[in-house]
């Protein structure tokens, strides 16, 4: 189980990050929804649709953790894409309503993680994730995809622990995808080693996240040429 105090803290931060995300989404006019996002090939509407659908499917991980029965996130990659396309095509207010329902449902279902967990680990795209980190995974998604909307909001406005959640999720993914060997160090004294740890990269949490998740190396100090990174 997740310690009730930790779960309350995680859900409180998730609520804060989600409220800011919703405020940004609400501020977008109809024509601003179709502007390209920082996710290659996706518009802002696509990103919003993804956050809405992922909030629903992440409940499958909660089911897995509490029942012990494996539950895939999506039936298939094609099904995932179809769901996102269908939601992104909705009128603006209907898309926002779907997002709000997803937010409400995930927060409600996450309360189940305070009970006994039948599975200590679940899998996301074939990568193991501690069952106690499901809420943190959702926080990471909201923070990174809020950044992807490319509006006046910046990752500097996210809670420091939410940035840490996002970095841990990205590092987990990079390790699983065989990213180049790196030692990642933040000014906040976090450190992660990927592979042989050969290349030293230093930044604050905000700058490191922007580089690892979206390739923006403006605020990182790299001890050598910047390597190509797998997509997150």
Nearest of 48, 55, 140 to residue 86 by alpha carbon: 48
130: phi then psi, degrees, rounded to nearest 5: -60, 135
The percentage of the chain sitting over the pLDDT mark of 70, rounded to a whole number, equals 100
Q: Which two tokens stand for residue 99?
A: 């997002």
For residues 24 and 48, the answer to whether their CB atoms sit within 8 Å is no
Q: Is residue 75 predicted with pLDDT exceeding 80?
A: no
Q: How confident is the model at residue 5 (pLDDT cuts 50, 70, 90)?
A: confident
For position 26, what pLDDT does the model report? 98
Q: How confident is the model at residue 70 (pLDDT cuts 50, 70, 90)?
A: very high
For position 74, what pLDDT does the model report? 81
Of the listed ranges 75-79, 80-84, 208-212, 215-219, the least confidently predicted one is 75-79
- The strand pairing partners of 15, in sequence order, are none
Mean pLDDT of 148-169: 96
CA gap 217, 208 in Å, rounded = 8
Q: Provide the Cα torsion 187, 189, 190, 195; round to 10°.
A: 90
Which tens digits make up the pLDDT trace of 96-141?
A: 999 999 999 999 999 999 988 999 999 987 788 899 999 999 999 9
For residue 73, what are the contacts with CB-CB under 8 A and spacing of at least 6?
54, 57, 58, 60, 61, 80, 124, 125
- Residue bearing the bigger pLDDT, 76 or 40: 40
For position 76, what pLDDT does the model report? 80
Q: Is residue 4 predicted with pLDDT exceeding 90?
A: no
Of the listed ranges 1-5, 7-11, 64-68, 221-225, the least confidently predicted one is 1-5
Of the listed ranges 67-81, 149-163, 164-178, 214-228, the least confidently predicted one is 67-81
Q: Is residue 1 predicted with pLDDT exceeding 70?
A: no
Q: Is residue 232 predicted with pLDDT exceeding 80?
A: no
What's the mean per-residue pLDDT of the chain?
94
Domains delineated in the chain: 4-153 (1.20.120.450), 176-232 (no CATH)
Q: How confident is the model at residue 191 (pLDDT cuts 50, 70, 90)?
A: very high
Q: Is residue 69 predicted with pLDDT exceeding 70?
A: yes
């Amino acid at each position: 189980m997740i310690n009730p105090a930790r779960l309350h803290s995680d859900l409180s931060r998730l609520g804060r990050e989600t409220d800011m995300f919703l405020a940004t989404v609400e501020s977008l006019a109809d024509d601003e929804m179709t502007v390209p996002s920082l996710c290659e090939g996706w518009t802002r509407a696509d990103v919003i649709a993804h956050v809405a659908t992922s909030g629903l499917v992440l409940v499958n991980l909660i089911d897995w953790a509490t029942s012990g029965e494996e539950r895939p996130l999506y039936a298939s990659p094609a099904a995932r894409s179809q769901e996102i396309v269908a939601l992104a095509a909705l009128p603006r207010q209907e898309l926002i309503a779907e997002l709000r329902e997803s937010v409400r449902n995930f927060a409600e279902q996450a309360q189940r993680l305070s009970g006994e967990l039948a599975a200590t680990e679940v899998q996301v795209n074939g990568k193991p994730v501690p069952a106690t980190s499901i809420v943190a995974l959702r926080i990471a998604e909201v923070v990174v995809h809020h950044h992807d909307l490319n509006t006046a909001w910046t990752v500097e406005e996210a809670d420091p622990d939410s940035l840490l959640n996002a970095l841990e999720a990205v590092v987990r993914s990079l390790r699983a995808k065989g990213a180049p060997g790196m030692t990642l160090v933040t000014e906040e004294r976090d450190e992660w080693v990927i592979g042989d740890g050969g290349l030293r990269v230093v930044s604050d949490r905000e700058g490191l996240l922007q580089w690892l998740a979206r390739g923006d190396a403006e605020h990182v100090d790299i001890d050598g040429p910047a390597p190509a990174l797998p997509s997150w």
